[in-house]
Structure 1
Amino acid sequence: MLRRMKGTGKGVTLADVAREAGVSSMTVSRALNRPDIVTAPIRERVQAAVDALGYIPNRMAGTLAGGAPVRLLPMVLPTLHHSVYVPFLEGVQRGLTQPGWQLAIDLTEYDPQREWRAAQQFLSLRPDVMVLAGTDHDPRVLPALRRFGVRIIEVMDAHPDPADLLIGYDHAQAGTMAARHLIERGYRHLAYASCLGVGDARNARRMQAFRAEAERCGVPCAAENVEEPSSYEVGVTLLRRLLTREPGVDAIYFSNDDVAAGALFECLRQGLSVPGRVAILGHNDMSISAHVHPALSTVATPREEIGAEVARRLNAPTLKGGLVTFPCELRPRQTT
């Protein structure tokens, strides 16, 4: 019978847990580091002892002693200001099956200098692999990672010559798809509306492809950008600017769904019919998109699938490089 005493965890050792559970220290070590080779009743007794004593394993000491190592998975992402990267992170977290992985995240806000500082900080911890968003980096980042022998996983982009392993989707293809959808629906004066366009190369590629497809079809296409983080308020600003400067615009492709939703709310406030006066198309298919009224048409991006593929590659015995792309999907709803 386990003693029902809550410890502070301070100074509690593996031997203390073993005594509490009535098993050997080796059994405790196996239950914590290799639970697959320990029977369920023993695992439960060990876990109950861990909980009762407040024991926290010293993973670094465990690594030196031959236990299950802590495997740091550093991720340098642009932002968590909105929920775009949440499905990606969930895909990674749910997909990792090998023990010991610990995610660590730093944010750049699309600033290359901040990306370099984040890479430096993570390199001081000597990781085996690092996840980077996109394929456009501070010029010091990739050489430094290679110098330290760190494997590189780039995500959320596509490029014919990846630095190592690249898992993402084609932003130019998404922009072309969006333009074709609006033109096929009969709209004849398009616009691309974005935020952080200068610092976000993926957004820029999407915009260029959107405008190129409009030009190919003989349809005029305006563009408006706000150097602020994506938000509902930015959508309001972009809509007002576009309709003031280009009153003939009848369809707008926004760089993110929260921006598109903000524009939609502003149309409703002004009494502008959507899609009668202006059609609105978003990007990413965030959770709000299907639940606003009218429901937001959008380009769905494979964010969770990309995260799951990162995990699948890390679970494999050997991390192989190359390019893995997933398709985007046009989700036409009521706003186009």
Structure 2
Amino acid sequence: MASTDAQKAARAEIALLAGAAPDVAQALADWLARLGHERRLSPKTREAYARDVAGFLGLLARQLGRQPGVADIAALQPRDVRAVIAARRAEGIEARTQMRFLAAARSFGRHLEREGLGKVGALTAVRAPRIPRTLPRPLTPGDARALADPATRAGEAREPWILARDAAVLALLYGSGLRISEALGLTRRDMPEPGRGDQIVVHGKGGKTRMVPVLRPVLEMIDDYARACPYELEQAAPLFRGAKGGPLSPRIVQLAVERMRGGLGLPDSATPHALRHSFATHLLGRGGDLRSIQELLGHASLSTTQIYAAVDSGALMAAWKAAHPRAR
């Protein structure tokens, strides 16, 4: 099945780049193969890279009046790249998409250099668009607990095991700071034996595995769901199941939260991912250090975690006033 998906992705990539000049098309095929074999990118990610480079080549062709060849790409000047970025900006493309667009073009340029097809220094000479850093919007502790409280769902006309499932998933997001994909990727064997541990095995981004502590009440909620679930929960199969027994979709969890927002009077920013933000922000507000929170969240870089310091600046000022000898 996986190989079939890869073949479909490869055909989609070829279709996306069918209009390229012959020498560029060959270089693109080699580059995409390298992304798959050496960098082990997923078919969908490779397709996104191909789509971005196809867009870059399309805008370049508009400037040249013809499809660019490898020599044209190697001869690019910084002003040419800026013109392409300006054209994208004029189309209303946001900065984050622009940065991804340029990153894909740079990756292809590095491939051309590795293959001895020319140096493409213009792509690295141009600064990527700045992305305004948006602060996460955590919930209040009371609202976060309400979303993860089974009692909140008592009036919903759905099967009890489904209500128990949703409560367990949301409790994991807030209680352990998981991404929704990490929670739904858990299997039965990732969980500790009843009464024999308080940590779970989480499979995060990039295939990285980490151990995350889980609260006893959350484990009990998961056990309640597992006992009520009408489907057999095999050790290696997804722990959380959909209504028909397949893996639970993130969209189902999102819809469950949307239904609850109205009854609880919560804003649109109250989403499953907001529970992860709330986990980090509330830990920091209670004196947790950034390095420990980084490990719990599975962030590769501390700079990603530091954004929560800006969110909870009030708590940091309170800590400074309480601890600094000249603050009183």
| TM-score w.r.t. length of structure 1 | 0.24
| TM-score w.r.t. length of structure 2 | 0.24
